[in-house]
Structure 1
Amino acid sequence: MLNKTIIGAAALAVQSMAAEQTTELDNIERITTTTSRFETVALSYPRALNWVSAETLATVEPQHIQQVLNRIAGVNLQRGNGQEYLPAIRSPVFTGAGACGELLTTEDGIALRSAGFCNINELFEAGTEYAQSIEVLKGPGTVIYGSNAMHGVVNVVTRNPIDAPEFVGLELGSYGFKRLTTSAGNNADEHGLGINLAITDDTGYRDEEGFEQAKVHVRYRTRLDNVDVSAGLSLSSLDQETATFITGLDSYRDAEIAQSNVNPEAYRKADSARLWIRFSGIQQSADNAYEWQVTPYVRYQDMDFLMHFLPGQPNELNDQTSLGVLSSAQWQLAPDVSVTVGADAEITDASLQQIQANPTQGSPFLQATIPAGRQYDYAVDATMVAAYGELNWDLTDAWQLSAGARWERIEYDYDNLMVSGRVDENGNTCGFGGCRYSRPDDRTDSFSEFSPQVSMSYQLDPQQMLFVVLAQGYRAPQATELYRLQRAQTVAELDSVKAQNLEVGYKWISSALEVQVALYHMDKDNVIFRDSDFFNRSDAETRHQGVELTIGFQINEQWRLSTAMTYGRHQYRNDLGNLLLAGNDMDTAPRRLATAQLQWTPTDSLTGEIDWRYTSEYFLEPENERLYNGHNIVDLRMRWQLNDNWQLTGQVLNALDRAYAERADYTVFSGPRYFPGRPRSVQMGVEYQF
């Protein structure tokens, strides 16, 4: 039988290499939420799985999740203002109302949003400030995940305050950054209760920007007869004053412009709550073993933000309430064969309003076609049901086969709460051919998908493994793509976006050197876009291919080098209307990404780090006529364990004080525009462990 323990330990060490300094196999942790809902060593499901370790999180103390996720090969989050960002995993940077559906974000294995109601910035609701680790599965999700898990899954694993040491920490940084974190808990007999808390206040370096945010996570654990019961409650609240794009070619190089904020009125307010209860058990006999778990959950979210990027600057108010359940069962039928089956279900009640308070400014065309008042007002009741199964079979001592599939159905029941059509809220027609915003009549839409996956792995020896994965991913259209229409479109006849992905990988580990290589090729069909007539269509075809290299080298007892490098091409496969794009690079898709950390540990209590990040040039628009030139950024960090109780941290961010853009793009209305990166800044922290 395949030696899963040795290979799994090797895989985990390889994929933690961006931060890990420990390579002893008996110290390798187990994972439970990304490749499987059951505890397993990392390579029992051979995929490109990486994560940010607790040690990295403690060293970086990220103000924004981008600062740690971009250490992973193939990941490229572009930071906006405050807690906002735009994501990319083996892809261009996703933009637009429905683009968030290209990847799945979860906390403790529970999706942050319902499948049809994602938000591009939704990771700001996850408890990254008190995370134990952050897992990233690249490529289409395993069979346990459905819609949205096309390019990957990001799962924030919260610190378990019941068993972890209690602490209180304070961080202070440039431009008014302040954060308080604490964790406390107790474990009496079979019962346990704990709490994590993080409160952040950041006034920001740009004019009239900043945010206040609070996050709480409560964990409970008990045992009833032969059933283990655990529960988690996550709450978050964000109050943000937003600084927007600056415009003008290379304007980020001008310190005065970079610090300016032309939309000081922009804001975002968001609250969320998630409650889950997990029931699980294990039964064993002489012939086989059986493990199961059932996780009911409820989530709530509401958001209010100013759409400063649209003419007339309307407000969007959206909310959703969901009730769902995840279930899995796993049988060890023989020493070399296991089967996993499960079923998931969810119901969601969501609503959205877009309301413009003031008359539109600008040209006569804009004033006539975008009247003030309600522009959208609708509710959607959604249901999701899914079933899946997976077989894992050790064919020989070296060969392992995994095969599975998932079937999923999503249905939307849309209710338009105002007058339908391309008219204002009172039913009046607009000049210049009609109003900009169009509202469909009440309707029902459903999407059913079957998603297979198969993988094969071969153990060359206890230190080396090869694997190949063939998988199909998909996502249903988001509610905003179906019902938030413009111009003459009255119905959006959209199909599910589908992706076919082939991946080949190699992993190797020794006591001093770890290497992981992954090559992937993904073709996507029915990609949703907005054409030149402002119609939402699903006619685009794209291709995503690349190679990722991750290396961890323990030079000696004091020095360690970790690096992650990516080369990727993300291209259009067809023309879109009158745009001749076939073969063009997709916009905001740098071909080369790299990061490296050189760590110095002169004593057991002191660690220093130099962190380098590189982003190559990339095109700002699909026609490939304009470029951002890329950048190199260097950060310096130090962590000092004074004694058993006290720890100090310090860092200098953007130590070389480079002028750069966190994000660059182009519109015909503004020309080149940028989110400027912060100048050189410092951050210091102190933590007391009880």
Structure 2
Amino acid sequence: MAAGEAHSAVDKYELNAKHRTFINTNTAITTHLIASTLDQQLTGALSPEQYANDPTQSALPEAIEAVDPHRKTDYFRLTSSVVVNDGDIEWSAIPFLRYRTNDYIATWQPNMPQMETTIKSAGLLAMSRVNFSREQQSILGLDLEFTQGDSLSYQANTISTTGWNAKLYPEGHIFYDNRVTFRNISPYFQHQSELSEVLSLLVGVRYDINEYELNNHLPEYDDDGFGNRSLANRHDRITHLSPKASINYRLNEDANVYARFANAIRIPTAAELYQLKTQDSSAQVGQISEETSNTYEVGYKHNFTNASVEAAFYRMDVDDAIVTAYDDLGSSYRVNAAKVRHQGIELALTYPISKQWQLAFAASRSRHTYVDYTQDVGRIDTNTGDTKAITLDGNDLPLAPDYIANLRLIYTPTFIAGLSAQIEIKSIGDYYGDEVNQRRFNGYITSNLKLNYRLTNAFAINARIANLSNDKYILQNEVRFGKTQIHPGDPRTTYLALSYTF
């Protein structure tokens, strides 16, 4: 449980229980239960003036602040893993149940609607591994999932917005109310082969079948007066074949180089598919399509006597990337961009200073760009009659930092058995706050302290202090409609967890 400044307190309780038993020497059953409840006060984004005056204020209208808005979430997940290992053949089956609620006021929307969602899932992860020989291994698997989600959004308080395209949002207005049923079947196959003493090859393929079924509790209409569109009941299906391959070459006993390729998809969420804006606000009419990606990576790994080094270069080309856009009322929605590219270098270094001290460093420097994307296609400026479409080819994606770096100093004293401590320094690079790349913002540096102490074989204490130096920093700047919105970083926050093994 942790608490921050006024208007941003968080209460979270979590139960994490695991039980493992052996039926015989070849069969193990592991049951894992996670249950949690979260109650978090909500805030809005600050203007630069509000941030300079008082970064701890909520930035919410008085009417909303008076009701003390909270995000309340309950979560439950139960899995039971059965693993049978019979020499050259191993198979496993992991059935699972999942339940989650998420109720909150969307403080980032101009009208701050109430959101209520409930998600119930059941599924199975099955896999069989066959070792034909020391050099040949195959994996055959199947993933199954059935999920039912109920979503409701309505206006909890009457709110009148100001400025361009001001609106009066009356209490009780329903923006969406639906149930979406999702089904997934994904068989996959992978084969690894040692081609020689120094060369190995891995190939694989996965076939995804995803089905959505919308049951809309509202009538079908094109515009509810606030730019929202309500669809008739419908069924959508997304299928995709994803190949992958990698090759690894061992230079010597301590070093190797590798190359990887992977094709993948990211399917849209139910909200991205069915909670649409109107044709007048140029959102996708019908559905958002899945985004597909091709990732290429080459890397080098070396284990020295007292250190290890990993370096890699990657490039990911994404077609139909799902990105955020905004309508004239300031509400966000999701659309497909034509093509986006992510590329960069990654470096990781681990160095044991002594038996008690270890230094670990990881960093990535990346570029995230629109390769082919025109924003606001079809939108017209009602004052001038001109198109609002903007070509963003070559621009950086908003909120994507130039680099991410992490430095950890780990201390494991020999004179206190079971104790481990580490100081972490995290640095985030500069980034653009808008798609047109007119406003660039500084990143930040923050530090954390982590302590793990196992008092006995059964009882352990875990503690973490985030923002150890209690620095004032901006977690994220975002530009919307020419105005900067600031999300302050949390002040020094302490987390404490206790674990007991039976």
What band does the TM-score fall into relative to the shorter chain?
Answer: 0.7 to 0.9
C-alpha displacement at 1:375, in angstroms?
A: 1.3
Aligned to 1:520: 314
Sequence identity percentage: 25
Are 1:492 and 1:537, in contact at CA under 8 Å, matched by a contact in 2? no
Residues 1:675 and 2:487 are matched in the alignment: yes
Instruction: Output the amino acid matched with 2:40.
Output: Q
Aligned to 1:630: 443
Are 1:279 and 1:295, in contact at CA under 8 Å, matched by a contact in 2? yes
Q: 2:240 aligns with which of 437, 449, 452?
A: 449
Are 2:155 and 2:169, in contact at CA under 8 Å, matched by a contact in 1? no
Aligned to 1:575: 373
C-alpha displacement at 1:651, in angstroms?
A: 7.3
C-alpha displacement at 1:676, in angstroms?
A: 1.5
Paired residues, number: 472
After superposition, give the CA deviation of every residue in 1:552-582 in whole Å (9 maximum; x if it has no partner): 1123345432211211000110132322211
Distance 1:416 1:516 in 2: 50
Aligned to 1:213: 12
Distance 1:656 1:409 in 2: 49
Unpaired runs of 5+ in structure 1?
Answer: 1-199, 425-429
For 1:416-435, what aligned pairs fall within 5 Å after superposition?
A: 416-424=216-224, 430=225, 435=226
C-alpha displacement at 1:527, in angstroms?
A: 1.2
Secondary structure of the structure 2 residue equivalent to 1:573: strand
For 1:129-140, what aligned pairs fall within 5 Å after superposition?
A: none
Are 1:360 and 1:366, in contact at CA under 8 Å, matched by a contact in 2? no
Are 1:246 and 1:257, in contact at CA under 8 Å, matched by a contact in 2? no
Residues 1:618 and 2:412 are matched in the alignment: no
After superposition, give the CA deviation of every residue in 1:86-115 in whole Å (9 maximum; x if it has no partner): xxxxxxxxxxxxxxxxxxxxxxxxxxxxxx
After superposition, give the CA deviation of every residue in 1:437-471 in whole Å (9 maximum; x if it has no partner): 11111111100000000000011112111111000
Distance 1:617 1:544 in 2: 16
Instruction: Output the amino acid matched with 2:240.
Output: E
Aligned to 2:31: 231
Q: 1:327 aligns with which of 126, 129, 133?
A: 126
Q: 1:258 aligns with which of 42, 47, 55?
A: 55
Distance 2:188 2:118 in 1: 29
Are 1:280 and 1:294, in contact at CA under 8 Å, matched by a contact in 2? yes
Distance 1:373 1:540 in 2: 35
The TM-score normalised by the length of structure 2 is 0.85
Distance 1:378 1:623 in 2: 35
Call closer, same or farther: CA 1:628–1:270 in 2, change over 3 Å: same
Aligned to 1:56: none
Instruction: Output the amino acid matched with 2:12.
Output: Q
Distance 2:260 2:142 in 1: 23
From the two aligned structures, give the one with the greater helix fraction: 1
Are 1:650 and 1:684, in contact at CA under 8 Å, matched by a contact in 2? yes
For 1:94-173, what aligned pairs fall within 5 Å after superposition?
A: none
Distance 2:138 2:129 in 1: 6
Call closer, same or farther: CA 1:210–1:491 in 2, change over 3 Å: same
Are 2:214 and 2:235, in contact at CA under 8 Å, matched by a contact in 1? yes
Residues 1:468 and 2:268 are matched in the alignment: no
Call closer, same or farther: CA 1:553–1:322 in 2, change over 3 Å: same
Instruction: Output the amino acid matched with 2:428.
Output: T
After superposition, give the CA deviation of every residue in 1:388-428 in whole Å (9 maximum; x if it has no partner): 1000101111111000000011011111111111354xxxx
C-alpha displacement at 1:663, in angstroms?
A: 1.9
Residues 1:662 and 2:461 are matched in the alignment: no
Residues 1:500 and 2:300 are matched in the alignment: no
For 1:217-616, what aligned pairs fall within 5 Å after superposition?
A: 217-224=16-23, 227-248=27-48, 252=51, 254=52, 257-263=54-60, 264=65, 265-284=68-87, 289-363=88-162, 365-367=165-167, 372-424=172-224, 430=225, 435-488=226-279, 491-529=285-323, 536-577=334-375, 578-599=389-410, 603-605=414-416, 609-616=422-429
C-alpha displacement at 1:218, in angstroms?
A: 2.8
Distance 2:405 2:336 in 1: 33
Distance 2:269 2:454 in 1: 48
Call closer, same or farther: CA 1:261–1:281 in 2, change over 3 Å: same
From the two aligned structures, give the one with the greater strand fraction: 2
Call closer, same or farther: CA 1:500–1:453 in 2, change over 3 Å: same
Secondary structure of the structure 2 residue equivalent to 1:259: coil
Distance 2:96 2:494 in 1: 40
Secondary structure of the structure 2 residue equivalent to 1:461: coil
C-alpha displacement at 1:270, in angstroms?
A: 1.0
Call closer, same or farther: CA 1:520–1:246 in 2, change over 3 Å: same
Instruction: Output the amino acid matched with 1:677.
Output: G
Are 1:311 and 1:366, in contact at CA under 8 Å, matched by a contact in 2? no
Q: Which protein has greater RCO, CA pairs closer than 8 Å, 6+ apart? A: 1
C-alpha displacement at 1:380, in angstroms?
A: 1.2
For 1:36-55, what aligned pairs fall within 5 Å after superposition?
A: none
C-alpha displacement at 1:685, in angstroms?
A: 8.8
C-alpha displacement at 1:657, in angstroms?
A: 4.4
Are 1:440 and 1:491, in contact at CA under 8 Å, matched by a contact in 2? no
C-alpha displacement at 1:484, in angstroms?
A: 0.2
Aligned to 1:31: none
C-alpha displacement at 1:339, in angstroms?
A: 0.8
Instruction: Output the amino acid matched with 2:230.
Output: R
Call closer, same or farther: CA 1:313–1:346 in 2, change over 3 Å: same
Instruction: Output the amino acid matched with 1:283.
Output: D
After superposition, give the CA deviation of every residue in 1:104-142 in whole Å (9 maximum; x if it has no partner): xxxxxxxxxxxxxxxxxxxxxxxxxxxxxxxxxxxxxxx
- C-alpha RMSD of matched pairs (Å): 3.0
Distance 1:281 1:517 in 2: 36
Instruction: Output the amino acid matched with 1:331.
Output: V
Aligned to 1:177: none
Are 1:247 and 1:674, in contact at CA under 8 Å, matched by a contact in 2? yes
Call closer, same or farther: CA 1:212–1:513 in 2, change over 3 Å: same
Distance 2:366 2:345 in 1: 6
After superposition, give the CA deviation of every residue in 1:457-511 in whole Å (9 maximum; x if it has no partner): 0111121111110001101221111110112268324321000000111111133
C-alpha displacement at 1:266, in angstroms?
A: 2.7
Instruction: Output the amino acid matched with 2:291.
Output: V
After superposition, give the CA deviation of every residue in 1:201-232 in whole Å (9 maximum; x if it has no partner): x3321x23312222112333334466432222
The TM-score normalised by the length of structure 1 is 0.63
After superposition, give the CA deviation of every residue in 1:125-184 in whole Å (9 maximum; x if it has no partner): xxxxxxxxxxxxxxxxxxxxxxxxxxxxxxxxxxxxxxxxxxxxxxxxxxxxxxxxxxxx
Distance 1:688 1:280 in 2: 24
Are 1:298 and 1:322, in contact at CA under 8 Å, matched by a contact in 2? yes
C-alpha displacement at 1:295, in angstroms?
A: 1.6
Call closer, same or farther: CA 1:496–1:561 in 2, change over 3 Å: same
Unpaired runs of 5+ in structure 2?
Answer: 376-388
Call closer, same or farther: CA 1:448–1:418 in 2, change over 3 Å: same
Instruction: Output the amino acid matched with 1:528.
Output: I
Aligned to 1:100: none
Instruction: Output the amino acid matched with 1:519.
Output: F
Are 2:42 and 2:107, in contact at CA under 8 Å, matched by a contact in 1? no
Call closer, same or farther: CA 1:244–1:341 in 2, change over 3 Å: same
Secondary structure of the structure 1 residue equivalent to 2:222: coil
Call closer, same or farther: CA 1:260–1:473 in 2, change over 3 Å: same
Distance 1:655 1:359 in 2: 41
Instruction: Output the amino acid matched with 1:662.
Output: L
Secondary structure of the structure 1 residue equivalent to 2:437: coil
C-alpha displacement at 1:367, in angstroms?
A: 2.7
Distance 1:308 1:623 in 2: 25
After superposition, give the CA deviation of every residue in 1:311-355 in whole Å (9 maximum; x if it has no partner): 332111111212211111111112210111011222222111111
Secondary structure of the structure 2 residue equivalent to 1:482: helix
Call closer, same or farther: CA 1:414–1:604 in 2, change over 3 Å: same
